[in-house]
Amino acid sequence: MKKDTDHTYILTLTVRNRPGVLVRCAQVFGRRGHNIEALAVTADINNRSFSAMTITAYGALETMNQIVAQLTKLVDVTNVTEEETL
Amino acid sequence: MKKQDINGAEALIYCLEKLGVEYIFGYSGGAAIPIFDAIITTGTKIKLILTRHEQGAAHIADGYARASGKPGVILVTSGPGAGNIVTGLMTAHMDSVPMIAITGQQIRPMLGLDAFQEADVFNITMPVTKHNYLILETNQLPEIVHEAFSIATTGRPGPVLIDIPKDVSSGPFTGSLEISASQVTAPKLATISAKTIKRTTDLLQIAQKPVILAGHGVLLADAQDQLRAVSKQFDVPVVTTLLGKGAVDETTPLAYGMLGMHGTAYANKAILEADLLLNIGSRFDDRIIGDGKSFGKDATIVHVDIDAAEMGKMIRPDIAIVADAKQFLTQLQATKQAANHQNWRVRLDGYRKQFPLGYSDEHGLTQQHILDSLNHITNGEAIVTTDVGQHQMWAAQFLKTKHANQWVTSGGAGTMGFGLPSAIGAQFACPDKPVVAIVGDGGFQMTLYELATAALHKLPIKIFVLNNHYLGMVRQWQELFYDNRLSGVDLEGNPDFVKLAESYGIKAFNIEKASKVDSIIQKVMAYNGPVLVNCEVAKTDNVYPMIPAGRAYTDMLTEAPTEKLEKPVGST
Ligand SMILES: Cc1ncc(C[n+]2csc(CCOP(=O)(O)OP(=O)(O)O)c2C)c(N)n1
């Protein structure tokens, strides 16, 4: 259920193109009972060892910051940026 | 050894040896046979210790790691073998303990086909490891093994699992055993600015009532010497978390013991009244903060942690410093600044006198009495491991920890069954130090099969079963919060622990009377070999002080409440 304090965020991740990386990222959301609203993963055609992942999710800013911190911690995630949408 | 003549398993053992592995704690099975075989065919110096259960192996490796500071290594088979280490991985993960778990796996063509003993170990263990791997090419082994060690031991440490299909371990190895620098290097930490250090020293000097909260991070960073020096330099009282025990010498005047749910009253009073809280390497666990809204609300909070994800997770600090504890403390030390907080210390020492840790044997021999005697007889020099429950909290209160890596307990996960195997691991790590396991009659029975491992290797661990015939900690909650409706806590059917130990060839004693406590403990500690002591203790004693879960520090009970308590609504 969407609460007043919730907003939509778009997270953009750079991840190592290794088996399981999608599951690792999804688990960060799942463990908190958070839903991923939209998801896209694209290969970096210039460097096959990396992929870009775009995740859209609702939540409070604090929660989203915590999710970003947890994603950043994953060994196979090399970068995360967070952006609020309208 | 010519590299073209070796298989994947042999390459693995070669790498482990090169990385300084001393012991592999393991349990074999079909998918792991090639690796067990390689321990023989390579003629490695690594010693294989066969445990009696995979969970035992995991906790042994964990105890080894906590006592030695080096990663513990386990090797188990696929399916049920790997399934049995999940609790052990979780235990290590929650407490940031470096560990390497190697699991055998079905052959690659059988993955995902429900083949015999095939389980999706990669996905099962993902949330209970810092990182994990499924190796799909034999030649990847050296690089992955080195990377796994680097991940397990750097930054915030943790367990790393490597799942190896049997055809990968049996397949010919044609790669290079010499490792190029691992791709994954330790997370680079920003250096701590002079401004941040200045801000901290200013705060330490301005504060009237500063407290250092020392967590496991201090010990993991090997920063106990720096912490002790800084607390003296700035004259700041130190309280520790359950896992932070040993960050300060608990027998020295600036040490005020453990804080939190069952912390000392004076540690908790210090937190309640503090105007500056310098948290170094603790994650503000819910057992520490109680009610997050009121915790430290009158204090300036500085949080130092190597893990950026801990900043603001539970408590929003005024100053967040993502740094290695040793680096931070060394920089504080180097400022040569100082402070004096005598009035504050005197005040806290007043609380120390007003609310001492005490006990009375009026209603039967208490666990506290045994622990207090043990503390005196060992002069606080023994490595102590505990299980989980009331005895663990009393041990934390009464056994004063002097040194780093001397206190081994499952904090975050609270895993019953941890005490005995972790003592075995600690004794393997430190063969010349006395090792004592403090266990409840409940938790002991979860992993008592490892008595065989202790007996076989003549490990002189001293096991104290504090036998209250109950799952005491749960019984305490039922008494306090559920009108004493005891449900599923009576351990009727306990075996005769003395006879049980003797059947493994382990010397055993009973302690039943308070008058016998000292003489028996002296005899036990002097004996050169494993000993079990069954201590018949008061059945319905409760642990105090207590801040009920989710409640504020102002709600601390220093003794049995006279009114009925409300059920805790905060954390479990
Ligand atoms: C594996 C596991 N199962 C259940 C629990 C919940 N639990 C916490 S303390 C406790 C009672 C422990 O009893 P015992 O080992 O006899 O120690 P005591 O509290 O009596 O000292 C239980 C069941 C746990 N922590 N770990």
Residues of B with CB below 8 A from A28's CB?
A: none
Q: Which amino acid is at B224?
A: Q
Q: In the prediction, which pLDDT does B19 show?
A: 96
Residue B183's contacts (CB-CB under 8 Å, 6 or more residues apart) are B143, B147
Average pLDDT, chain B: 96
Q: Quote the CA–CA distance of B550 and B512 in Å, as a whole number.
A: 37
Q: In the prediction, which pLDDT does B180 show?
A: 65
- Given an 8 Å threshold on Cβ–Cβ distance, is B309 in contact with A24? no
The answer to whether the peptide bond before residue B71 is cis (omega within 30 degrees of 0) is no
DSSP annotation of B232 = H
* Cβ of residue B158 lying under 6 Å from some atom of ligand 1: no
- How confident is residue B189, by pLDDT bands cut at 50, 70 and 90? confident
Q: In the prediction, which pLDDT does B545 show?
A: 97
* Cβ of residue B415 lying under 6 Å from some atom of ligand 1: yes
pLDDT at B433 over 90: yes
Q: In the prediction, which pLDDT does B2 show?
A: 52
Mean local confidence (pLDDT), B71-99: 98
For B188-223, the DSSP string reads: PPPPPPHHHHHHHHHHHHH-SSEEEEE-HHHHHTT-
Q: What are phi and psi of B193, to 5 degrees?
A: -70, 155
Q: Which amino acid is at B212?
A: I
Token pair 């403990």: residue? B521
A49 touches B at CB < 8 Å: no
Mean local confidence (pLDDT), B283-303: 96
- How confident is residue B354, by pLDDT bands cut at 50, 70 and 90? very high
User: How close does chain A come to B474, measured CA to CA in Å?
Assistant: 26
ipTM summary value:
0.94
Q: What are phi and psi of B59, to 5 degrees?
A: -70, -30
- How confident is residue A1, by pLDDT bands cut at 50, 70 and 90? low
Neighbour tally for B526: CB within 10 Å:
9
Q: Which tokens sit at B344?
A: 């504050």
Q: What are phi and psi of B272, to 5 degrees?
A: -65, -40
Sign of CA dihedral B162, B168, B171, B173: negative
Mean local confidence (pLDDT), B482-500: 97
Residue B5's contacts (CB-CB under 8 Å, 6 or more residues apart) are none
Counting beta carbons within 10 angstroms of the beta carbon of residue B485, is it exposed (0 to 12), middle (13 to 18) or buried (19 or more)? exposed
A1 touches B at CB < 8 Å: no
Residue B105 belongs to what H/E stretch? Answer: strand B99-105
| B265-281 confidence digits (pLDDT tens) | 999 999 999 999 999 99
Q: In the prediction, which pLDDT does A85 show?
A: 85
Q: What are phi and psi of A49, to 5 degrees?
A: -80, -5
| B126-169 confidence digits (pLDDT tens) | 999 999 999 999 999 999 999 999 999 999 999 999 999 999 99
Q: What are phi and psi of B251, to 5 degrees?
A: -95, 5
Neighbour tally for B127: CB within 10 Å:
17
Residue A39 belongs to what H/E stretch? Answer: strand A38-43
Decide: helix, strand or coil at residue B432. coil
Domain limits of chain B? Answer: 3-183, 194-354, 367-544
Decide: helix, strand or coil at residue A40. strand
Cβ-defined contacts of B302-305 (< 8 Å, 24+): B302/B200, B302/B203, B302/B276, B302/B277, B302/B278, B303/B279, B304/B217, B304/B278, B304/B279, B304/B280, B304/B328, B305/B217, B305/B279, B305/B280, B305/B281
Q: How far is C-alpha B219 from the geometric centre of its chain's CA atoms?
A: 11
Q: Which amino acid is at B519?
A: S
Buried b (16+ CB within 10 A) or exposed e, B348-386: beebbeebebebeeeebbbbbbbbbbbbebbebebbbbb
- Given an 8 Å threshold on Cβ–Cβ distance, is B309 in contact with A70? yes
Residues B99, B215, B264: CA angle, nearest 5 degrees: 125
Beta pairing partners, B301:
B277
- Given an 8 Å threshold on Cβ–Cβ distance, is A69 in contact with B308? yes
| B379-416 confidence digits (pLDDT tens) | 999 999 999 999 999 999 999 999 999 999 999 999 99
Catalytic residue among B99, B258, B393, B473: B473
- How confident is residue A46, by pLDDT bands cut at 50, 70 and 90? confident
pLDDT at A30 over 70: yes
- Which among B571, B526, B556, B55 has a CA at the least distance from the CA of B270? B556
Strands B507-511 and B531-536: parallel
- Which among B182, B178, B164 has a CA at the least distance from the CA of B38? B164
Q: How many Cα neighbours within 13 Å face the side chain of B12?
A: 35
pTM strictly above 0.95 = yes
| B206-220 confidence digits (pLDDT tens) | 999 999 999 999 999
User: How close does chain A come to B309, measured CA to CA in Å?
Assistant: 5
Q: Which amino acid is at A15?
A: V
Counting beta carbons within 10 angstroms of the beta carbon of residue B263, is it exposed (0 to 12), middle (13 to 18) or buried (19 or more)? buried
Taking the alpha carbons at both ends of chain B, their separation in whole angstroms is 55
For each of the domains in chain A, give its residue range(s) and CATH number, in order of start: 18-78 (3.30.70.260)
Q: In the prediction, which pLDDT does B316 show?
A: 95
- How confident is residue B185, by pLDDT bands cut at 50, 70 and 90? low
| B100-135 confidence digits (pLDDT tens) | 999 999 999 999 999 999 999 999 999 999 999 999
Beta pairing partners, B465:
B439, B534
Residue B382's contacts (CB-CB under 8 Å, 6 or more residues apart) are B374, B406, B433, B434, B435, B436, B462, B525
Residues B569, B570, B572: CA angle, nearest 5 degrees: 90
- Which among B160, B9, B32 has a CA at the least distance from the CA of B106? B32
Question: What is B3-183's CATH number?
Answer: 3.40.50.970
Beta pairing partners, B558:
none
B309 touches A at CB < 8 Å: yes
Please state the atom number of ligand 1 nearest to the C-alpha of residue B473: 19
Residues recorded for chain A: 86
Q: Which tokens sit at B13?
A: 């053992």
Neighbour tally for B93: CB within 10 Å:
21
Which of B123, B132, B309 is the closest to A69 by Cβ? B309
Q: How far is C-alpha A48 from the geometric centre of its chain's CA atoms?
A: 20
Interface test with chain A among B96, B105, B126, B306, by most A beta carbons within 10 Å: B126
Please give the C-alpha separations between residue B513 and each of B267, B363, B436, B518, B538, in angstroms, as whole numbers.
Answer: 32, 12, 21, 10, 11
- Given an 8 Å threshold on Cβ–Cβ distance, is A72 in contact with B126? no
**Second CATH level (architecture) for the domain B367-544:** 3-Layer(aba) Sandwich (3.40)
- Which among B496, B500, B537 has a CA at the least distance from the CA of B516? B537
Residue A51 belongs to what H/E stretch? Answer: strand A50-59
Say if residues B18 and B64 touch (Cβ distance below 8 Å).
no
Please indicate whether residue B185 or residue B52 has the higher confidence score (pLDDT): B52
Mean local confidence (pLDDT), B513-537: 98
Asked if the B194-354 domain carries CATH number 3.10.20.30, the reply is: no
pLDDT at B319 over 60: yes
pLDDT at B245 over 90: yes
